[in-house]
Amino acid sequence: MLDAQVNGMPNTSRGGPLQGVRVLELTKVWAGPYAGKLLAFLGAEVIKVESNSNLDEMRAYGGVDINHAPYFLSINSEILSVQINMKTAEGLQLFRDMVAKSDIVINNIRPGAMERSGLGYEQLREIKRDIIAVSIKMFGNDGPLGHQTGYAPCFAALGGLNSLAGYEGGPPLGVNHRYGDSTVGAQAAYAAIVALMHRQRTGEGQFVDVSAVEGMSSMVGDSLFEQGLTGKSAVPDGNAHADMAPHGCYPCRDGTWLSIAVASDPEWHALCEGLDRADLAKDSRFMTRAQRYEHRSGLDEQLSELTKEQDVDALANHLRALGVAAFKSQSSVNLIGDQYLWGRDFFRFVSDNKEGARPILGAPWRMSKASASISRGAPDLGEHNAYVYREILGLSDEKLQELIGNRIVD
């Protein structure tokens, strides 16, 4: 009775744990679309509602062809696209008709915009009693600062995350400013599926109100907790780690960097041996983990002297063979040539309407039984109009043509 499949199966069977689940998206830019991507990669049928008059900005970034914009193509594999002009009464009604046939509705549009269109949670619930409505906003759906808006680095600043990243004694510098949207999208996807599980067991839908700012706070939850517990101020701490020393990135030849993390005395001795400085292990400043942590600044300087003329890949291999956790800090060019990622099919190809095939970043999980196929690239605007209007909503071809003619489907 509660099975998503009563809504009608999608026209292609991709498998995956969420096969048969239908998700409707009013999402833009990155956080919302990323949530949709994860659900699609798990097998859900994810339908993005768009229109020429209200495009996802990602279709405009980095190009003039809205069907071939690199940003959009990079996030929207296995997403279906349907056009609706939501500024018309008839368009809004079509959207409501789609809600009635969906399990989850996700939006990350401006605070208040859903409610103004008559699509707040209570109204969605009137359309479909057990709908799961997911709202992703910078600071949550309401509250004293709920009206504030911003981009990912703003979430990270407000959430307390960016004030922790920087060099010791210096100002906050933050994690790279691309960080944030996708993490929040993943958190929203998790909450959405928890809600789906609850509906499966009880028949009850619900409203999931995601705060991107709190999403960032949760990524440093232990630090926020620690300050409250101990009174020790959480400030930029470079690469310091209270339980590991050395713990940091050390320069190698040609501007490269090697990350090294030493968790125990035997690992420390192995590192000294690997750097041909067994004597360092006997240095009275560096005997125990606590001493190494206390003298980390001098320790890092000394290690940097030993690494800076070395080849990063050779040194990484050499240290790892001795049991030391040592990995190159990969640049973008290292990353796209990473043979391990290509070998695991993490980098993989999907169809592309223009060029035939496009490499994308696939799913970061492997499932032994219920894997969803990931083969279709991002959709052209309205690529799935016929499927949605005719097969899901049951409209005739004539009606669809009329909607196109009236620019309701636009």
Partner 1 sequence: MTALRGFRVVEIAEGVAGEYCGKLLADFGAELIKVERPGTGSPTRSMAPIVGSDAGPENSGLFAYLNTNKKSVVLDLASKAGLDTLHKLIATADVVIDDHDEDWLKNVGLTPAQAEHDHPSVIFCSITPFGHGAPAAWRNAKSINVFNASGWGYHSPTAADPSKPPLKGAGRFMADYEGAIDAALCIVSSLYWRTHSNQGQFVDISQMEVLVSRADCVVGRMITGEAEANDLRTAYDMGGPHGFFRCADGFVYLMVTNRKHWLGLCKLMGNPEWSKSFDENWLEFGATLEKVVEFRKHFAAWLLAAKKDEVSETAQRLDVPLVPVNNATDVQRSPQFVFREYFQRVTHPVLGEALYPTVPYKMSATPVKITSPAPLLGAHTATILDNRQAVGGAKAHA
Name residues contacting partner 1, limited to 322-361 (CB under 8 A).
323, 325-336, 340-341, 344, 346-347, 358-361
The binder of partner 1 chosen from 40, 114, 131, 244 (CB under 8 A) = 244
* Among candidate residues 240, 297, 306, the one with its CA nearest the CA of residue 271: 306
Q: Is 379 in the site for partner 1 (CB under 8 A)?
A: no
Note whether 386 binds partner 1 by CB under 8 A. no
Q: Judged by CB under 8 A, does residue 306 bind partner 1? A: no
Asked whether position 367 contacts partner 1 by CB under 8 A, the answer is yes
Angle at 284 between CA 279 and CA 289, to 5 degrees: 95
Between residue 43 and residue 102, which ones bind partner 1 under the rule CB under 8 A? 58, 62, 70-71, 73-75
Q: What is the SS3 assignment for 335? A: helix
Q: Phi and psi of 45, rounded to 5°? A: -90, 110
| Binding window for partner 1 (CB under 8 A); candidates: 47-55, 84-92, 187-195, 380-388 | 187-195
Encoded amino acid at 309, one letter: E
Task: Report the site for partner 1 in 188-217 (rule: CB under 8 A).
Answer: 188-191, 193-198, 200-202, 204-215, 217
Choosing from 82, 106, 184, 315, the residue that interacts with partner 1 (CB under 8 A) is 184
Query: Are the beta carbons of 161 and 154 closer than 8 angstroms?
Result: no
**How many whole angstroms from its chain centre is CA 233?**
29
Tell me which residue has tokens 């990155």: 30
Site membership for partner 1, residue 186 (CB under 8 A): yes
Q: Inter-axis angle of helices 31-41 and 181-202, to 10 degrees?
A: 50
166 binds partner 1 (CB under 8 A): yes
Smallest separation, CB 79 to partner 1 (Å):
13
Q: Helix (H, G, I), strand (E, B), or coil: what is residue 36?
A: helix
**What is the rounded CA–CA span in Å between residue 161 and residue 163?**
6
Looking at the Cβ atoms of 266 and 394, the one nearer to partner 1 is 266
- Judged by CB under 8 A, the chain residues 136 through 165 that form the site for partner 1 are 139-140, 143-151, 153-154, 156-165
CB of 23 to partner 1, least distance (A): 12
| Separation between Cα atoms, residue 265 and residue 281, nearest integer Å | 9
